[in-house]
C-alpha cells in the first residue's frame, strides 16, 4: 500500500471501516471479473466432436476462479452446469448419472466423462465398420394389387341408395300419411311437421 493510503487509513477508527473503504476502491474490479467469468461459465457449450477433457477442465478452472473471488456455488449447480454444457451425444451418460444419483468430485466427473467419450469413439468406429462391411439386402418392391370390387348392397325400401333426396322422402311421407293421426293438431292423415 502506498504511503498516502496508509496515512489516510491511520485516521480511521477501526479495521472494519478500513476494509469497507478498500472494498469500495478496489471491489468493483472483482465484481466485473465475477460477471465476466460467470457469463463465460453459464454460456459454455462444448461443440460436437470436441474433447470433453479440455472442456471440463476449462469449466472447473472458471469455477475455481469464481470461488477465489468469493462467488461460491452449490456443488449440484456446478455439476449441472458441466452436464448442461455437453453436446447431445452425452445424453445417455447424463441420464445414467442422474438416475443413479452418482456422487463424485468434479475431477471424478471429468474422469468419467473422458472414459465415456473414449468408449463412444471406439463403439462409433465399430458400428461404422460393421455397417460398411455388411450392407443390408434390398427388399423387393411390392407390385400394385388390383383394387377389389365389392358388390353394392341392394337399395333399402324408402329410397336409400344413390337417389337420396326429396323425391324418395316425398314418397315415404305420402305412404305414411295414410291412416295416421296428428298428435299436435289431432287431424287425420296429418303429421306434426305438416301443421301450420
Digit-coded pLDDT (tens) for 91-101: 999 999 989 98
Evaluate whether 172 touches 159 at the Cβ level (below 8 Å).
yes
The pLDDT score that the predictor gives to residue 76 is: 92
Work out the angle at residue 34's Cα, subtended by the Cα atoms of residues 60 and 47, and round it to the nearest 5 degrees.
45
The pLDDT score that the predictor gives to residue 78 is: 93
pLDDT tens-digit series, residues 5-54:
677 777 777 887 777 777 766 765 678 888 999 999 999 999 988 899 99
d(CA 67, CA 28): 16
Query: How confident is residue 133, by pLDDT bands cut at 50, 70 and 90?
Result: very low
Q: Compute the mean pLDDT over every residue in the chain, rounded to the nearest whole number.
A: 75
Least confident of 8-12, 82-86, 124-128, 158-162: 124-128
> What is the end-to-end Cα distance of the chain in Å, rounded?
110
- Count Cβ atoms within 10 A of the Cβ of residue 56 and give its class: 0-12 exposed, 13-18 middle, 19 or more buried: buried
- Say what percent of the chain tops pLDDT 70: 64
Dihedral sign from CA coordinates of 112, 118, 119, 120: positive
The pLDDT score that the predictor gives to residue 82 is: 94
The model carries a pTM of 0.51
The greatest distance separating any two alpha carbons of the chain, rounded to the nearest whole angstrom, comes to: 125
Q: Is residue 66 predicted with pLDDT exceeding 80?
A: yes
Query: Residue 102: what are its φ and ψ, rounded to 5°?
Result: -75, 130
Q: Which grid cell sits at 140?
A: 423387393
Amino acid at each position: 500500500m502506498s504511503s498516502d493510503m496508509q496515512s489516510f487509513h491511520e485516521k480511521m477508527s477501526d479495521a472494519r471501516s478500513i476494509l469497507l473503504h478498500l472494498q469500495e476502491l478496489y471491489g468493483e474490479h472483482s465484481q466485473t471479473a465475477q460477471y465476466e467469468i460467470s457469463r463465460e461459465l453459464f454460456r459454455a457449450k462444448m461443440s460436437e466432436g470436441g474433447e470433453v477433457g479440455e472442456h471440463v477442465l476449462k469449466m472447473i478452472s472458471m469455477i475455481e476462479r469464481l470461488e477465489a473471488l468469493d462467488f461460491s456455488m452449490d456443488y449440484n449447480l456446478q455439476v449441472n452446469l458441466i452436464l448442461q454444457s455437453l453436446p447431445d451425444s452425452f445424453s445417455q451418460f447424463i441420464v445414467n448419472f442422474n438416475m443413479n444419483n452418482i456422487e463424485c468430485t468434479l475431477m471424478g466427473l471429468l474422469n468419467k466423462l473422458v472414459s465415456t467419450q473414449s468408449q463412444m469413439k471406439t463403439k462409433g468406429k465399430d458400428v461404422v465398420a460393421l455397417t460398411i462391411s455388411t450392407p443390408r439386402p434390398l427388399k423387393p418392391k411390392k407390385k400394385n394389387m388390383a383394387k377389389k370390387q365389392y358388390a353394392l348392397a341392394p337399395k333399402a325400401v324408402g329410397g336409400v341408395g344413390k337417389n337420396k333426396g326429396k323425391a324418395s322422402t316425398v314418397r315415404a311421407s305420402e305412404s305414411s300419411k295414410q291412416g295416421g293421426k296428428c298428435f299436435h293438431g289431432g287431424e287425420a292423415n296429418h303429421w306434426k311437421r305438416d301443421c301450420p
